[in-house]
Homo-oligomer: A and B are copies of this chain.
Amino acid sequence: MPDLKNDRYLRALLRQPVDVTPVWMMRQAGRYLPEYKATRTQAGDFMSLCKNPELACEVTLQPLRRYALDAAILFSDILTVPDAMGLGLYFETGEGPRFTHPVRTAADVARLPVLDPEQDLGYVMDAVRTIRRELAGAVPLIGFSGSPWTLATYMVEGGSSKAFTVIKKMLFAEPQTLHLLLDKLADSVILYLNAQIKAGARSVMIFDTWGGALSGRYYREFSLHYMHKIVDGLLREHEGRRVPVTLFTKGGGQWLEAMAATGCDALGLDWTTDIGEARMRVGDKVALQGNMDPSMLYAPPARIEQEVETILTAFGQGNGHVFNLGHGVHQDVPPEHAGAFVDAVHRLSRPFHQ
């Protein structure tokens, strides 16, 4: 990949040799960085930041100026998709995201449009193009979407949830309505991610934040089935290059074999799964991304380095590891701890690639 100065991230996802283990952090552009807070204040609210391609580009690049990260990830939110479908996203202080028009009935589902990404989410595509231009080949840009199940939880509940009461009622009492919704979302996500790839994303990731709220049987039927459909519908090659796709189900450690069987290139692991055991289970099929507990960034740098070494040792010698946290960076970690983490991955991983 001669147009990329640093292609470790893509090589590791394809289980090709690298000099050191690549590293990035979920939610690396975020509130733990003072410069992020300044830009967000400038933008106004969170959605105004998402909808401003220049400022979204700025916050995407901020962590790369501080740390030797091996990938940039588009600054956006998974809920831009249901917002663009007309559900009326808004944020209530201390309450998280809410929708004015939740999806509750078969008629609500029938009314939902399938997304036209360049039309309905043009601001995301503009952000991708802007970031790709500003990156100037330094590192690859990751595009992303929420999984259909995860998006549906917000759309049906009308916002965040703990027990997922409303969507589980739909799942158990009216499964065909939920299947119609998930299928429509899968179609939209395919179009959305393919548009991100055409606009400049070199790899895409599907975040299934709430798949772990289901039993294994219903996870396969209501979440994984639709991620599989997306994997099948994605552009897997673009401009002559393979476009790796990563699936991440938080709490999905019991289902890695089924996830790997979708034909994706990599699995994200939260911190509850031992990465060495995961490699034994699925490492001949997919690369693995993860999986330090994000709370470890509260610890002193020496302790962080020790944990990095432990995870590198658990994964072991060879290809197919992208280092990351098991979930997003917490907003109150000291920025210098994130720096110690990134440096430790590069410094300590060299012996594992000889």
| B-binding residues in A (CB < 8 A) | 163-165, 168-169, 172-173, 212, 214-219, 251, 253-254, 271-274, 277, 291, 293, 295-296, 298-300, 303, 307, 310, 326, 330, 332
Q: Are B298 and A172 in contact (CB under 8 A)?
A: yes
- Residue numbers in B under 8 Å from A168 (CB-CB): 293, 295-296, 298
A298 to chain B: closest residue by CB: B169
Q: Which B residues are CB-close (under 8 A) to A218?
A: 293
Q: Which of A212, A273, A299 has the most CB of B within 10 A?
A: A299
- Bound Cα distance A332, B299 (Å): 41
Q: How far is the CB of A313 from chain B (nearest CB, A)?
A: 11
Tell whether, in the assembled complex, residue A164 and residue B254 are in contact, meaning their CB atoms are under 8 Å apart. no
Enumerate chain B residues within 8 angstroms of A298, measured Cβ to Cβ: 165, 168-169, 172-173
A35 to chain B, nearest CB (A): 23
Q: How far is the CA of A307 from the CA of B215 in the complex (A)?
A: 12
In the complex, what's the smallest C-beta–C-beta distance from A54 to chain B, in angstroms?
32
Instruction: Among B216, B296, B332, point to the contact of A273 (Cβ < 8 A).
Output: B216
Cβ B251 vs Cβ A254 within 8 A: no
A272 touches which of B254, B277, B332 (Cβ 8 Å) = B254
Whether B295 pairs with A216 at a CB distance below 8 angstroms is: no
CB<8 Å pairs between A and B, sample of 19: A164-B295, A165-B295, A165-B332, A168-B296, A168-B298, A169-B295, A169-B299, A172-B298, A172-B299, A173-B300, A214-B293, A215-B271, A215-B326, A216-B272, A216-B277, A217-B274, A251-B251, A254-B272, A254-B273
A3, B218: Cα distance in complex, Å? 42
- Residue numbers in B under 8 Å from A163 (CB-CB): 295, 330
Q: What's the least CB distance linking A36 to chain B, in Å?
A: 19
Of the candidates A165, A215, A271, the one having the most CB atoms from chain B within 10 angstroms of its own CB is: A215
Complex formed: what's the CA distance from A165 to B294 in Å?
10
Q: How far is the CA of A226 from the CA of B326 in the complex (A)?
A: 25
Among A164, A217, A277, chain B packs the most CB atoms within 10 A around the CB of A217
B212 touching A272 by the CB < 8 A rule?
yes
10 more CB-based (< 8 A) A-B contacts, given A165-B330, A172-B303, A217-B274: A168-B298, A172-B295, A173-B298, A173-B303, A215-B326, A216-B273, A216-B274, A251-B251, A253-B254, A254-B272
